[in-house]
Chain A
Amino acid sequence: MAEVKQVTIWARGVTQDMEGRHLSLLVANSADKDGKFVQAWDDYADLPDRVGVPLRKYARISEEEIEMRYEYENKQPNVVIVMDDTIIKGMDILHGMPKGGVLVVNSKRSADDLLKFIPNKELLSSITVVDASGIAADVAVDFMGSEGGVEVAAVGKGISAPLAGAASKATGLLKLESVVAVAANKEGVKQGAEAAKVKKL
């Protein structure tokens, strides 16, 4: 059984539901493009969401078919991406992370500033900060894709694009050109990768 890489995304309810899901899709779709077996899905218990509640979106990437496709959560996330830095303060975002994990945060703050709020930061091998909200414009929220619906909006128009670019730089798990290929906002992906500051820990 090949190792399954687990990517967990934290977003805010309703306002970031779509972009959060799009980010999980960008991760999965770009890895799919590279010939990997993938899965992207919403946390079942977090939906239906309410405004501002912390939401989890997930992706899995594997060299072989993903056998435990039905596990509700990513219990051992290798990569955690946080779409709103205030979530860090309230949630144990690294819960279950095996040592050597990667954290990517959408923030205007510095990495050191953010690390102050992460009690279990020894699990991290790096923290990457990118001001994704400064790169991509806000996108109107639509609910078309929630609860198993088909996405109507093009995937990766808003902050999911620069965050996927930053995740590509931070993890080496995703090829930047593959992320660019599957995202609607291609410039946003590239800018996110360029602007992302990776700090090794």
Chain B
Amino acid sequence: MAKEVFYSGCAAAAYGAKFSRVEVISSYPIRPYTGIMMELSKLVANGDLDAEFVHGEGEHAQVSIAYGASAAGARAYTGSSGVGVTYAMECYSPAAGGRLPCQMAIADRALDPPGDFGSEHTDVMSARDQGWIMGWAETPQEVFDNTIMYYRIGEDPRVMLPQFCCQDGYFVSHIPGKVILPDQKAVDEYLPPYNNPHPLDPTRPVSHGPQIFPDQGPAIDLQRAQAFLDTPKVIAEAVKDFNKQFGRKYSPFVEEYMTDDADIAFFIMGGHARTARFAVNHLRKKGVKAGMVKLRFVRPWPTEAVAEALSKFKAVGTIETSTSYGGAMRGGNLIHEVRASLYDLPKRPAVTSFMAGLGGEVVTLNEFYEMAKILTEAAKSGKVKKGVYWLGFEPD
């Protein structure tokens, strides 16, 4: 029987891995994701989960162990936060290029300096172009669900890609929320065992990760790019089946809230979407036609879904919880992709961006109201004054 529990995002991720029947787990401690491994080590030690639990000597080793296990045909699970995520950077491309669908749980943490435990998406956003599937959860429930869904998507023979299953550190990873744990049988029906078609096996030798000649490079890169073109279809199927199997209502790529007649919209991902929803409610009461669009996947970037969702508004503000220093819009990352997604449309909304929640700062209701003011003005005039706002820290 399905049962309702009160879990943090960390515990929800660990149980998502357990229900996915992961076979190899590689760990190395760093806050705030540590709770995930603490929980998994308990499950393995108590005999509740039959998996190899391996301690890496660092994140580089951790991810190497995970994709090595995946190469040998095991469903592998690892994770990290902050500088741990960036320390493992070298290993991301081999995992993706090797088409090894291991999963890495991310509980975001700001990068150094200065030392900071707070959530900021810059850690794993730095790895977004390494060929991994990537998306954020808003609640512990979504963390649990995504963990299972991502394995199904990543291990699909049409995809075969590793996945970053991300959640905001502290906000989602450490504050408990209600989570429905399904029947194991229902998960087994949804998620078939992982099948590596060419596993490392001494009895049937194969080569993984060989050296190539330079002119072989483009063809291999094209295959990886092609896998990403095929992935949205697989995501749509996996989400639809998940909703059916477990009675959820996830949209595959973007979730819309109060958008039908909205003039302005917040474009956001991760835990702060929860506050954005409340902000929209309050703004509506004040007569502001605001809505919210929540992004569920950063990779593959859902170009068409984003264009379709955002084209109906007069002004859109992206909430940037990561930095792109010196980038085209001088602020965050999402606005680059949002503007690119909208470029070919005959009628586009005005788009600006808000640097918010950096270093783990709480994005408050008042901050959303400030954004709404700027967006309302942009909706009226049809253009934005600036491409980026550092709310509360604006240089005048």
A99 located at the interface, meaning its Cβ lies under 8 Å from any Cβ of chain B in the complex? no
A144 located at the interface, meaning its Cβ lies under 8 Å from any Cβ of chain B in the complex? yes
Residues of B within 8 A of A1 (CB): 282
> 0/1 per residue, B1-42, Cβ < 8 Å to A?
000010111110000000000000000000110111011001
Contact A148-B275, Cβ < 8 Å, known A41-B176, A42-B174: no
Residues of A within 8 A of B32 (CB): 44, 147-148
Say yes or no: A148 contacts B117, CB within 8 Å: no
Q: Of B11, B36, B38, B176, which one neighbours A40 at CB under 8 angstroms?
A: B176
A71 located at the interface, meaning its Cβ lies under 8 Å from any Cβ of chain B in the complex? yes
Say yes or no: A41 contacts B271, CB within 8 Å: no
Per the bound structure, the CA–CA distance linking A42 and B35 in Å amounts to: 13
B173 located at the interface, meaning its Cβ lies under 8 Å from any Cβ of chain A in the complex? yes
Residues of B within 8 A of A42 (CB): 174
B77 located at the interface, meaning its Cβ lies under 8 Å from any Cβ of chain A in the complex? no
Say yes or no: B174 contacts A149, CB within 8 Å: no
A108 located at the interface, meaning its Cβ lies under 8 Å from any Cβ of chain B in the complex? no
B268, chain A: closest CB distance, angstroms: 13
Q: Of B38, B175, B278, which one neighbours A149 at CB under 8 angstroms?
A: B38
Say yes or no: A148 contacts B42, CB within 8 Å: no
Contact A148-B271, Cβ < 8 Å, known A44-B174, A70-B175, A71-B362: no
Say yes or no: A70 contacts B10, CB within 8 Å: no
Say yes or no: B362 contacts A72, CB within 8 Å: yes
Say yes or no: B170 contacts A44, CB within 8 Å: yes
Q: Of B31, B42, B275, which one neighbours A48 at CB under 8 angstroms?
A: B31
Say yes or no: B174 contacts A67, CB within 8 Å: no
Per the bound structure, the CA–CA distance linking A72 and B360 in Å amounts to: 10
Residues of A within 8 A of B363 (CB): 70
Per the bound structure, the CA–CA distance linking A182 and B272 in Å amounts to: 31
Say yes or no: B170 contacts A68, CB within 8 Å: no
Residues of A within 8 A of B278 (CB): 65, 67
B244 located at the interface, meaning its Cβ lies under 8 Å from any Cβ of chain A in the complex? no
Per the bound structure, the CA–CA distance linking A146 and B37 in Å amounts to: 12
Contact A147-B362, Cβ < 8 Å, known A41-B176, A44-B170: no
Residues of B within 8 A of A51 (CB): none
B297 located at the interface, meaning its Cβ lies under 8 Å from any Cβ of chain A in the complex? no
B242 located at the interface, meaning its Cβ lies under 8 Å from any Cβ of chain A in the complex? no
Interface size class of B (residues with CB under 8 A): 20 to 34
Residues of B within 8 A of A40 (CB): 176
> 0/1 per residue, B140-152, Cβ < 8 Å to A?
0000000000000
> 0/1 per residue, A30-49, Cβ < 8 Å to B?
00000000011110110010
Say yes or no: B275 contacts A147, CB within 8 Å: no
A2 located at the interface, meaning its Cβ lies under 8 Å from any Cβ of chain B in the complex? no
Interface size class of A (residues with CB under 8 A): 20 to 34
Residues of B within 8 A of A68 (CB): 275, 362, 364-365
Say yes or no: A70 contacts B171, CB within 8 Å: yes
Say yes or no: A148 contacts B171, CB within 8 Å: no
Say yes or no: B42 contacts A149, CB within 8 Å: yes
Say yes or no: A149 contacts B176, CB within 8 Å: no
> 0/1 per residue, A62-104, Cβ < 8 Å to B?
0001011111100000000000000000000000000000000
B363, chain A: closest CB distance, angstroms: 8
B42, chain A: closest CB distance, angstroms: 7
Task: With CB as the reference atom, state the residue of chain A lying closest to B274.
Answer: A69
> 0/1 per residue, B154-177, Cβ < 8 Å to A?
000000000000000011011110
Say yes or no: B275 contacts A41, CB within 8 Å: no
Chain B contacts with A in 163-218, Cβ cutoff 8 A: 170-171, 173-176
Task: With CB as the reference atom, state the residue of chain B lying closest to A40.
Answer: B176
Residues of A within 8 A of B174 (CB): 41-42, 44, 147-148
Residues of A within 8 A of B39 (CB): 148-150
Residues of B within 8 A of A144 (CB): 38, 42
Other A-B pairs, 20, CB within 8 Å; known A44-B170, A70-B175, A147-B34: A39-B176, A40-B176, A42-B174, A44-B117, A67-B275, A67-B278, A68-B364, A68-B365, A70-B171, A70-B363, A72-B170, A72-B362, A144-B38, A147-B10, A147-B32, A148-B9, A148-B10, A148-B38, A150-B5, A150-B11
| Shortest Cβ-Cβ A-B pairs, 10 listed | A148-B35, A148-B10, A148-B8, A147-B35, A67-B278, A70-B171, A148-B174, A150-B11, A70-B362, A41-B175
B contacts, CB < 8 Å to A: 5, 7-11, 31-32, 34-36, 38-39, 42, 117, 170-171, 173-176, 271-272, 274-275, 278, 282, 362-365
Offer 10 A-B interface pairs, CB within 8 angstroms, sorted by A.
Answer: A1-B282, A39-B176, A44-B174, A45-B117, A69-B175, A70-B171, A147-B31, A147-B34, A148-B8, A148-B174
